[in-house]
A and B are shown apart, each in its own frame.
Chain A
Amino acid sequence: MARVVVDVMLKSEILDPQGEAVLGALPRLGVTDVSSVRIGKRVEIEFDENARNVEEQSRVIADQLLANPVIESFAISIEGA
């Protein structure tokens, strides 16, 4: 069984209001030595045991459904087979 993890992040130059909000909240916790927070999403996909072309299919899923390629980038990692 192949387990695929897709990490979707806003491209580095795109404003991340959510990350900014977290960054802004850190001093209230007494944390003052953080310069940047970026928030993305992690998606775990489990393919059937005899699934084929796992990487290719994962790429299609990530590109067409999970990420908005105009403003987001994604990384795929396949864990075990």
Chain B
Amino acid sequence: MTSYVPVDTVGVASATPDEKQPWAELGLKDDEYQRIREILGRRPTQSELAMYSIMWSEHCSYKSSKVHLRQFGQKNPRTPRLLAGIGENAGVVAIDENIAVTFKVESHNHPSYVEPKQGAATGVGGIIRDIIAMGARPIAVMDSLRFGAIDHPDTARVLPGVVDGIGHYGNCVGLPNIGGETYFDPCYQGNPLVNALSVGVMPRSRLQSMQASGTGNVVILLGAKTGRDGIGGVSVLASATFSESGEDDARPSVQVGDPFTEKLLIEVCLELFDAQLVVGVQDLGGAGLTCALSETAAAGDGGMHVDLELVPLRAKGMEPHDILASESQERMLLIVDPAKAEEVLARAHRWGLLATAIGTVTDTGRLVVDFHGQTVVDVPPKSLADEGPVYNRPLAEPNDLGLIAVDRAETLPRPATDEEIRQTVLDMAASPNLCDKSWITEQYDSSVFGNTVLGTPHDAGVVRLDERTGVGIAISLDGNGRFARLDPYHGAQLALAEAYRNVAVTGATPIAVSDCLNFGSPEDPHVMWQFERAVTGIADGCQKLGIPVTGGNVSFYNQTGREAIHPTPVIGVLGVIEDVARRIPLGLGRTGDTIALIGTTEEELSGSEWAAVKHGHLGGVPPKVDLDHEMKLADLLSRLAETEQLAAAHDLSEGGLAQALVEAISFSGMGAQILLPEGADPFTYLFSESSGRVLVVIPRGQELAVRSACESRGLPITPLGVADANTDGLHLRDHFDLSRDEIDAAFKGRIGARLGE
């Protein structure tokens, strides 16, 4: 028995102007609703209301961030490498005259809290589709994760689920996970951050467009069926008939993905692109068909007509606004010349994927959606995609910032004796943020495709692009919420500098940036101030470094009650390396190699891991950032990689020199004999988090060449000691020894143990 469901059509809407509509429940403001009525000259239908509420949401419209994000476009350095930038599904940069890469980082924070495994998995799936939509073959993924305190019971629910989800999706779809970061801080307790990055490679000629152009072209929906995934948001529009049906789980807010369908989607799309069968393409992400239809129509020059009943459905009784809002995974929208439509459908079928023509490109300038012959949507597409509300929200410096700035970690009590410092090295190595993350990264396939040159725990992931030339890319993903809390402008630049340096440390030359900006509520002027400062910091920093921001995303409302997370800009930097055979790994080289430190160590402990672990302290001003210095350092490292004059290198960041030595020793299986420079305070030298420093290992006979390369660039280099296979662990002359067993016992196996596994 099929019950008749009345549909709210354009005709009905015109005839019933006074019908009460749940715009407030859908998150629209009074004036926003009035503007929709003005645009349409009538009240919106339910489907139109659903579409506007989705497209004008913070998530889709960037209404609070837009005015600040403009800085990226204004300050971005001009580079011939940039083939597609902000506003596209992902930024595309040229590697050489033939190859381009595309990469992007995106958040999936809230879904990963509700259902950690599926939330994180669909986050990975979503970012992979952005890469496909640009015409590229995805070749790797990475992730930046932040959880609450490691010993909080909810972390034991969220972390294993998130890691399981990332591993499940990435491993099944067959992409190597080449790195990322995992941090713990109580501020992320009720609001973990799951930021996923994907990178893809393509011949430059395969770059795709999202434009729905060419009147008469066919609109094809490719991939999975459409179900009631993630339509919780528009559930207030449910007709009475449906809500009374008694099914309590009819409106899930959770989406479940299928990586095997995604794999087919990759292969079908690439085949269609190569055969030049596609005019335009757009992935279906967070806002489903609503977003894909309005963005492709708005990017084109005409309009679009869609017959919604043609969309293959997984669930019964779906209403038009359900179909439009559904966030079912693994779907893409294609714009195809009608003469080629049949071939597109046939090729999709051959791969076992559904493909359905659901509409056509028109010249009406309107996006018209019919459902069983009744018009339920008739709107100008640009009003949905491009002309949403823009807010210049009030900004206010947080009141406590002045107080926090004078509460410096440099004044905290420090370990005084050698024995106390020795114990501090071990305690720090065992702390949640610094300890070995193998428990997490072992769950990911890091080498599928056979092109991964460096994966975790190296400073950056390095992937080979071309076997003949050896050209490759390096990517690092970094953020530091504590530094950004102390000073969002410089905190964001410190994250940028670290990601830039991590890429440079492998010998690659940084060329482009993608950022994921995780903040609290934009309606809080303090949060908005932090956001503005961080964006300005990144834009100024990228201008200085000469590398453009190519895209990314903004995630607002990361807060529990009124408590916002630390402002957490996560920066992805991509670099190119001419020959991956010359990359610089983490480690200690060979016995007799010189260990040296490039950069200057100052007394900078505020915001440091030591202050957090030993004192639960967050105050003072973060370490200074010097981007001129970073550029010189990157230039030096890429030069030394080319001439093969470094055996190993490692960026100094959280935990300072002590942690860098622990990691190098633990990873390499070698020992290190270290003598601190004369007059250096051992505690400061070991634990300061001064920026712009790299631990390098110089092969015998190259010391003078490396020193002169540093000096000619004005970079200070300090010899610290030698690598030695016969030294057991760390020998810090005149101070203490740490055996390898002690180091490994502290550093390894912590995550699993703390999670009770």
Contacts and interface: CB of A to CB of B under 8 A. Distances in A.
Contacts of B115: 68, 70-71
Interface string A43-81: 000000000000000000000000010110100000000
Contacts of A10: 256
B227 A15 contact: yes
B230 to A, nearest CB: 10
Nearest to B224: A15
A71 B227 CA distance: 14
Contacts of B118: 71
Interface in B289-317: 314-315
B250 interface: yes
Contacts of B669: none
A17 interface: yes
B229 interface: yes
Contact of A14 (B247, B254, B352): B254
B256 A14 contact: yes
B445 interface: no
A12 B247 contact: yes
A21 interface: yes
A33 interface: no
Contacts of B328: 15
Given A24-B352, A68-B115, A15 B249 contact: no
A1 B352 CA distance: 49
A73 B248 CA distance: 10
B260 A17 contact: yes
Contact of B252 (A14, A20, A21, A24): A14
A65 to B, nearest CB: 12
B236 interface: no
A27 to B, nearest CB: 11
A70 B252 CA distance: 8
Contacts of B252: 11, 13-14, 71
B114 interface: yes
Contact of A13 (B224, B257, B260, B315): B315
Nearest to B115: A70
Interface string B251-262: 110111110110
Nearest to A16: B256
A17 B249 contact: no
Contact of B229 (A12, A15, A21, A68): A15
B228 interface: yes
B249 A11 contact: yes
Nearest to B352: A24
Interface in B347-368: 352
Given A11-B249, A70-B114, A17 B258 contact: yes
B327 to A, nearest CB: 11
A7 to B, nearest CB: 15
B261 A13 contact: no
B247 A15 contact: no
Nearest to A12: B249
A41 to B, nearest CB: 16
B249 A13 contact: yes
Contacts of A13: 227-229, 249-252, 315
A21 B228 CA distance: 19
Contacts of A15: 224, 227, 229, 255-258, 314, 328-329
Contacts of A21: 260
B247 A17 contact: no
A19 to B, nearest CB: 11
Nearest to A15: B256
Given A13-B227, A15-B227, A15-B229, A71 B260 contact: no
Contacts of A68: 115
A21 to B, nearest CB: 7
B254 to A, nearest CB: 6
A12 B318 CA distance: 14
A15 B258 CA distance: 8
A13 B251 CA distance: 8
A14 B227 CA distance: 8
Contacts of B257: 15
Nearest to B118: A71
B258 to A, nearest CB: 4
B710 to A, nearest CB: 54
A20 B518 CA distance: 36
A15 B254 CA distance: 10
Interface string B314-332: 1100000000000011000
A24 B351 CA distance: 12
Nearest to B231: A13
A68 B157 CA distance: 11
A30 to B, nearest CB: 18
Nearest to B259: A17
A57 to B, nearest CB: 21
Nearest to B328: A15
B261 A17 contact: yes
A65 B130 CA distance: 35
Nearest to A11: B249
Contacts of A11: 249, 252
Contacts of B228: 13
Contacts of B249: 11-14, 73
B261 A71 contact: no
Nearest to A73: B249
Among B118, B224, B250, B256: residue with most chain A CB under 10 A? B256
Interface string B86-122: 0000000000000000000000000000110010000
Contacts of B250: 12-13
Among A10, A13, A15, A20: residue with most chain B CB under 10 A? A15
A20 B261 CA distance: 10
Going nearest first, the 5 A-B pairs with the smallest beta carbon separation are A17-B258, A11-B249, A15-B256, A13-B228, A70-B115
Given A15-B328, A71-B118, A71-B254, 19 more contacts: A12-B247, A12-B250, A13-B227, A13-B229, A13-B250, A13-B252, A13-B315, A14-B249, A14-B256, A15-B257, A15-B314, A17-B258, A17-B260, A20-B258, A68-B115, A70-B114, A70-B254, A71-B256, A73-B249
7 contacts: A11-B249, A13-B250, A14-B249, A15-B328, A20-B258, A71-B256, A73-B249
Interface of B: 114-115, 118, 224, 227-229, 247, 249-252, 254-258, 260-261, 314-315, 328-329, 352
